[in-house]
Amino acid sequence: MYIVTAHEMYDWDRKSIEEAGMDGKISMENAGRAVAEQVEKRVRNDQHIVVLIGAGNNGGDGFVIARTLLNRGYSVKAWQLVPDEKIKGDTLVHKQLYLGAGFELEHLTKVNVLFRELDQADVIIDAMLGIGVNGKLKPPFDQVTAYANQSQALKIAVDIPTGVPADEGITDFDGLQADYTCIIAAPKLSAFLPHTAPYYGEWEVVEIGLPAKMLKKPSVSLWNSEHARSTLPERHPFSHKGTHGKALVIGGSYLMPGSIALSARAALRSGAGLAAVATPESAWPSVSMHIPEATAVSTSEENGVLAERVEADFTGYDAVAIGMGMGRSDASRTIVQQVVEEADVPVLIDADGLYLLKQLLEVLKNRTGPAVLTPHPGEMAHLLGITIPELLARPFEWSQRFAYNHGVYIVLKGPSTIITAPDGTQVVDTSGNAGLAKGGSGDVLSGILLALMMQSQSITEALCNGCFLHGKAAELLTTDGHSKADLLATDLIEGLSRAFRTFSS
């Protein structure tokens, strides 16, 4: 499923009409009926529904929704919030069809009259404004939106909640807080941004017949179960431990042995054939206790952290992960630089490694092998030299720019994780839940990604599937046996077997 900007959605609509010959009135009818069907799944016919209708395509959808629900025996009041002269084109056609069917239409004259109607409503359907709004709302939409937000009624938005921008970069806006949004044709970027996504509530996409070939392929798509099932690699019956990759995990310290143990164990649980751990000798007893299947790499240490270089032949490994729990000393920075410069295999950099990488960005550009960075927003903002709010306002743009400029893959972690390839293509993974908001979850993810990068799939598919399995393990565990509060990173590792059984072929 593609994720579109407002411009891409407008272009798809235009091409559907001008090049494919699809009548705009038919698209509007399809959209309104599709939304009405979703409303029927959530609303009883004894509940009172108020449909708020503006101008433009969103308003036209509102007329179709009101007519369809009235025809099916629902209690509906339709309110037109703009003057008659603003209702034009296809929207006017559907207004006339609504009136021609014998149904009553309320016109907004005084907002207090509408407010009394909203007080009596069980359901409010928002068909006021669509994807073209950026910034603060103007009267009467600002007043109506603010009043609707205070209502206890179920609020259903058509395509996008009124006032919410479709694209990233806009943080100062008024928006209707929907309980459910019925998105038309394709989700918009704002459904995945931390400052706009909450306005959508629960959401799903309805298909309205727009020709798929008329949509110029967007650079952003959504990963789902079908993608995972079709791309997770199968194990050949004659494979052996070397077939599935030998991983090297570098990091940990005397005071933080757990992070590297979590990553190594997650890598083996996710399919790595072999795993070696380069960690301070003083930390190894704690690490080996939790991951007896891993082997140790001889290292030097000073004050409980790695010192100098790691004496490892990187050609003997299929992928390397570095950074988890290693600290931020000068010696640690030297090791990160060593790995970036010398390891031609895929390298994943996380945690402390990302902090140290800020001083090595020019070195990073000169890498020939793939590099994968797995930052949370704070780490990504540090790499970019911007504030966290600046990053979160435009996470797609910032990730794409950094990935392209430095030739790396970015896994920007969050409720909607954005995976960006060096060529700028982006995939969003929305799996997981609040149970992942716990120390160690990121270390587990690094191990999963490390293992999957060594299997028979592209780097992008490996990263998408790794994020997906990580999130689905949390979802499966919290539906049976765990709550979101008690879920631990170690639980995630043990839950991976269930996620693999569920989604692999």
Sequence-distant (≥ 6) Cβ neighbours of residue 494 within 8 angstroms: 269
Provide the 8-state DSSP code for 233. P
Tokens of 258: 């757990």
- Read off the pLDDT band of 505 (50, 70, 90): low
Task: Decide if pLDDT at 279 tops 80.
Answer: yes
- Read off the pLDDT band of 329 (50, 70, 90): very high
Task: Decide if pLDDT at 236 tops 90.
Answer: no
Sequence-distant (≥ 6) Cβ neighbours of residue 18 within 8 angstroms: none
Mean pLDDT on 463-469: 98
CA nearest to 438, candidates 487, 471, 475, 481: 487
CA 380 – CA 388 distance, rounded (Å): 8
Tokens of 89: 């084109």
Q: What is the pLDDT of residue 446?
A: 98
Amino acid at 325: G
Residue 331, SS3 per DSSP: helix
Task: Decide if pLDDT at 85 tops 80.
Answer: yes
Task: Decide if pLDDT at 240 tops 90.
Answer: no
If residue 81 lies in a helix (H) or strand (E), which one and from where to where?
Answer: none
3-state SS, one letter per residue, for 34-63: HHHHHHHHHCCCCCEEEEEECCHHHHHHHH
Residue 328: CA atoms inside 13 Å, Cβ hemisphere, count?
9
pLDDT tens per residue across span 151-190: 999 999 999 999 999 999 999 999 999 999 999 999 999 9
CA 4 – CA 188 distance, rounded (Å): 5
CA 467 – CA 442 distance, rounded (Å): 10
Give start and end residues of each alpha helix (H) in 121-218. 141-150, 197-200
> What's the gap between Cα 246 and its chain centre?
30
- Read off the pLDDT band of 242 (50, 70, 90): confident
Q: What is the pLDDT of residue 243?
A: 74
Residues pairing with 277 in the sheet: 249, 296
Dihedral, CA of residue 446, residue 447, residue 452 and residue 454, to nearest 10 = 110
CA nearest to 170, candidates 56, 53, 6, 59: 6
Mean pLDDT on 348-374: 95
Q: What is the pLDDT of residue 235?
A: 80
CA 326 – CA 310 distance, rounded (Å): 12
CA 347 – CA 89 distance, rounded (Å): 56
Residues pairing with 372 in the sheet: 348, 409
Q: Say if strands 417-420 and 409-412 run parallel, antiparallel, or are unpaired.
A: antiparallel
Residue reference for tokens 């943080």: 171
CB 448 within 8 A of CB 272: no
The reply to whether the predicted model has a pTM over 0.85 is yes
| Residue 24 neighbours by CB distance under 10 Å | 17
CB 392 within 8 A of CB 357: no
Provide the 8-state DSSP code for 236. P
Count how many residues are written for the chain.
Answer: 505
Q: Say if strands 48-53 and 123-127 run parallel, antiparallel, or are unpaired.
A: parallel
Amino acid at 319: A
pLDDT tens per residue across span 21-61: 999 999 999 999 999 999 999 999 999 999 999 999 999 99
Amino acid at 426: Q
Residue reference for tokens 């082997």: 295
CA 115 – CA 143 distance, rounded (Å): 10
Tokens of 423: 């060529």
| Average pLDDT along the chain | 96
Q: Label residue 481 exposed, middle or buried (CB < 10 Å: 0-12, 13-18, 19+).
A: exposed
CA 397 – CA 484 distance, rounded (Å): 31
